[in-house]
Amino acid sequence: MTLASDRFITETYREYVGVKLHFNDNKFIYKNPTQLSRLKPEQLNKRNDREWFFRLANMFNNKPKERLDYIVSQFKDNKDAWIGDFFLDPAEKRHNLRMKTIQSFDYYIDKDIDDIIIKYYDRDLESIISVNSDRPIIYKEMNLKDETFCILDKIFEFDDNSFNPLWENKLFMCRKYAHFLNLNNNKLSNIETKLRNSLISSSVNQSSLNETQSLDFLFD
């Protein structure tokens, strides 16, 4: 097996730090290792855990995309993950599960959207995505893919007025994670149209309520 070059090892170190910062900092958006060019090989060599970075670099030698995918899988689910944890069984399982979703992205997203429509066919769209200082009903009652929440947030922009720490963390993660997803605008538009056409709009609900109230006098 060909060992990773010093350059690839340094890029791996920078990518680890960059993705970790991405999932922890409100403003920082990770794009590539050159953003952290201030991190030098000398700094890596001073770390007590440097051997783990050598191992990660060799694991994905000359495969930068696969390396990024693996690092994203770890920090997506645990923003405080440590490099040594990347080589435990849960880390590999976590990555394989995420990549299974990514590789069949349309299938899993379409299934989630169909499940939403089946469950809430008689509810208005706004009521199931509204945060109302807590969390959306679809988060509370359904086990949707994180990728689905990323898409729904891109389309409808969930409110930031929640006091529920679980939902706050989920929404923060989704907005960070979305930067690593290939979210096609046509796909987003089709999902929005499908949901709006399949679920009752709040305006229709209110109109129906007003009509019912206007006829109440007939039964007094």
Q: Are residues 111 and 211 in the same domain?
A: yes
More confident residue, 19 or 160: 19
Please report whether residue 145 resides in a domain.
Answer: yes
For residues 11-32, average pLDDT:
98
215 pLDDT above the threshold of 60 = no
Print the domain residue range for 34.
Answer: 6-103
Taking CB atoms within 8 Å and a gap of at least 24, the contacts of 134-142 are 134/162, 134/163, 134/164, 134/167, 135/162, 135/164, 135/166, 135/167, 136/167, 139/167, 139/170, 142/115, 142/116
Among 103, 127, 162, the domain-final residue is 103
**Per-residue pLDDT tens over the stretch 49-88:** 999 999 999 999 999 999 999 999 999 999 999 999 999 9
Q: Are residues 109 and 215 in the same domain?
A: yes
Structural domains of the chain, count: 2
Please report whether residue 202 resides in a domain.
Answer: yes
**Per-residue pLDDT tens over the stretch 135-188:** 999 999 999 999 999 999 999 999 888 889 999 999 999 999 999 999 999 999
**Per-residue pLDDT tens over the stretch 91-148:** 999 999 999 999 999 999 999 999 999 999 999 999 999 988 799 999 999 999 999 9
Among 78, 103, 128, the domain-final residue is 103
The closest of 1, 22, 2, 47 to 13, measured between CA atoms, is: 47
Among 60, 76, 103, the domain-final residue is 103
